[in-house]
């Protein structure tokens, strides 16, 4: 013990602490702690910076992020709605560490804007259990629409199935992860939690089902208490569905396997994901099909996977419900009665593959794509077929000029009436 009045009033332990931790580090920690307490006490929506972003967001199951700029008119319009949603959801989910609403001023926090690849204001993103969802929020900018979106994220994404009747009602437009649980002894919480985490990551790409009861005996591996299988889209559950090769013990292993199975080369375009797909900037090769037509979907998908893998980095292969997407067909001079048909949307013009049955001819569909890149499709729409070496009268300047149909999917890109687009995106 130090005597009263001694010039050194600190204990040896305190001296050791200060020698190990410089004053600057202590001050920084205190600053973050003070910022944390202040934000928690004074606002439903907290302002985050590069200094406290990771430390703050890591303590919440769900983080709803608003990347904005003060000068942006759309950011100003969204701010009170975002605040209203935060009040509503924090009342519904009051548990500590459940939900955080945060905003980032990208004009002052440019490093965070670059880190999250922000190209337009305002951009709304979601983090779940510390992991950023690959799809940002693009729905209606109303308090109730955003609140419902968050409620859906927070609810259990795994659908229980315990009868053949429920199994037969599965939506076939998405692939599915089918988990067959045969034990009656108890609930495997650790495995279920791992599955639920992956299900939240891939909620837009796959359906996830927890199957018990009679269907387990037919579709599950006999020796396993719990088996996980991937059911391709537009097919019924089958004993031959692809099975997860190991026991469910690792989130990373299941996530890698499920991601590979759930995100196919050929994807379905909907009004909900069209904006995101157009933002990728790649032309679309689209099969327009009747919603009940599985045969053309299977043929197109098989052709793409067998012949067009080398083109996957330069074009998006898509399926479109030709009844829902009747408007693009109208621009091509077609109706749902003309389905199925294949077309390219280059985001400037649309070009139709002349005869759907020609995709059976090896190399024909690939040639169609290459003619887009070479400019032949555009040139022939303007001036008619290119002259051949035997066509001595094929002077393009004397041919009737035509105009290819304008792109319709380009109009589904991020709208200038909802976002301020950054200059490097224009």
Residue 398 maps to a domain: yes
Distances (CA, A) of 418 to 101, 141, 307, 375: 21, 9, 39, 33
Residue 22 maps to a domain: no
302 and 272 co-located in one domain:
yes
146 and 183 co-located in one domain:
no
Residue 24 maps to a domain: no
Q: Name every residue whose Cβ is closer than 8 Å to that of residue 321 and which is 6 or more positions away in sequence.
A: 268, 270, 289, 291
166 and 281 co-located in one domain:
no
The Cα–Cα gap between 64 and 137 comes to 9
273 and 387 co-located in one domain:
yes
403 and 292 co-located in one domain:
yes
Helix (H) or strand (E) holding 207: strand 206-211
Residue that has been written with the tokens 């034990």 in this structure:
183
Residue 310 maps to a domain: yes
294 and 405 co-located in one domain:
yes
227 and 282 co-located in one domain:
no
Residue 141 maps to a domain: yes
Q: Which pLDDT does position 422 carry in this prediction?
A: 66
Tell me which residue of 160, 87, 75 sits closest to 124, measured CA to CA.
75
Residue 81 maps to a domain: yes
Does residue 398 come out as left (phi exceeding 0), alpha (psi in the -120 to 50 range) or beta?
alpha
222 and 300 co-located in one domain:
no
183 and 147 co-located in one domain:
no
Does residue 60 come out as left (phi exceeding 0), alpha (psi in the -120 to 50 range) or beta?
beta
Q: Which pLDDT does position 387 carry in this prediction?
A: 57
Q: State both tokens at 207.
A: 């359906």
CATH code, domain with 69: 3.40.30.10
Last residue of a domain, one of 103, 121, 154: 154
Instruction: Tell me the pairing of strands 341-345 and 284-289.
Output: antiparallel
Last residue of a domain, one of 119, 154, 189: 154
Number of domains the chain contains:
3
CA 268, 274, 280: angle at the middle one, nearest 5? 100
Task: Report the largest interatomic distance among the alpha carbons of the chain, rounded to a whole angstrom.
Answer: 113
Which residue segment(s) compose the domain that 144 sits in? 43-154
Q: What string of pLDDT tens digits covers the 426 residues of the chain?
A: 333 344 444 444 444 444 454 555 555 555 555 444 444 434 589 999 999 999 989 999 999 999 999 999 999 999 999 999 999 999 999 999 999 999 999 999 999 999 998 888 999 999 988 888 878 898 899 999 999 999 999 999 999 999 999 988 887 778 999 999 987 555 678 889 899 999 988 988 899 999 998 999 888 876 788 899 999 888 889 889 999 999 888 999 999 999 999 988 999 998 888 888 888 888 999 999 999 999 999 999 999 999 999 998 899 999 999 999 999 999 899 999 999 999 999 988 999 999 999 999 999 999 999 999 888 887 876 666 655 544 444 444 444 445 568 888 877 777 666 777 765 432
Residue 253 maps to a domain: yes
Residue 178 maps to a domain: yes
Single pTM value for the model: 0.65
332 and 280 co-located in one domain:
yes
253 and 294 co-located in one domain:
no
Beta-carbon-side half-sphere exposure of residue 406 (alpha carbons within 13 Å): 4
The Cα–Cα gap between 186 and 169 comes to 27
61 and 171 co-located in one domain:
no
Last residue of a domain, one of 208, 234, 263: 263
136 in Cβ contact with 124 (< 8 Å):
yes
């Amino acid at each position: 013990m130090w005597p009263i009045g001694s010039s050194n009033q600190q204990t040896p332990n305190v001296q050791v602490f200060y020698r190990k931790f410089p004053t600057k580090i202590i001050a920084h920690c205190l600053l973050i702690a003070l910022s944390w307490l202040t934000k928690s006490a004074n606002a439903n929506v907290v302002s985050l910076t590069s200094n406290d972003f990771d430390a703050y967001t890591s303590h919440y199951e769900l983080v709803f992020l608003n990347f904005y700029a003060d000068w942006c008119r759309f950011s100003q319009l969204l701010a009170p709605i975002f605040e209203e949603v935060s009040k509503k959801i924090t009342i519904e989910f009051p548990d500590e560490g459940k939900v955080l609403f945060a905003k980032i001023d990208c004009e002052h926090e440019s490093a965070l804007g670059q880190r999250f690849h922000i190209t337009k204001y305002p951009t709304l993103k979601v983090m779940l259990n510390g992991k950023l969802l690959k799809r940002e929020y693009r729905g209606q900018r109303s308090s109730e629409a955003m609140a419902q979106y968050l409620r859906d994220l927070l609810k259990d994404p795994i659908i229980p199935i315990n009868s053949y009747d429920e199994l037969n009602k599965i939506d076939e437009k998405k692939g599915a992860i089918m988990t067959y649980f045969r034990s009656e002894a108890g609930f495997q919480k650790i495995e279920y939690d791992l599955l639920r985490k992956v299900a939240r990551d891939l909620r837009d790409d796959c359906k996830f089902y927890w199957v018990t009861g009679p269907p387990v005996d037919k579709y599950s591996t006999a020796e396993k208490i719990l088996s996980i299988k991937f059911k391709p889209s537009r097919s019924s559950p089958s004993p031959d569905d692809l099975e997860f090769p190991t026991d469910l013990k690792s989130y990373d292993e299941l996530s890698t396997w499920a991601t590979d199975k759930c995100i196919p080369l050929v994807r379905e375009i909907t009004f909900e994901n069209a904006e995101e797909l157009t933002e990728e900037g790649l032309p679309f090769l689209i099969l327009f099909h009747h919603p009940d037509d599985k045969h053309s979907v299977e043929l197109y998908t098989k052709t793409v996977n067998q012949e067009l893998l080398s083109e996957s980095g330069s074009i998006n292969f898509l399926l479109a419900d030709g009844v829902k997407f009747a408007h693009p067909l109208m621009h091509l001079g077609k109706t749902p009665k003309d389905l199925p048909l294949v077309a390219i949307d280059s985001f400037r013009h649309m070009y139709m593959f002349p005869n759907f049955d020609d995709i059976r001819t090896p190399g024909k569909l690939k040639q169609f794509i290459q003619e887009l890149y070479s400019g032949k499709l555009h040139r022939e729409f303007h001036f008619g077929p290119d002259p051949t070496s035997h066509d001595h009268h094929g002077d393009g300047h004397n041919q009737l000029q035509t105009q290819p149909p304008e792109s319709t999917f380009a109009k589904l890109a991020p709208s200038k009436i909802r976002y301020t687009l950054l200059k490097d995106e224009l």
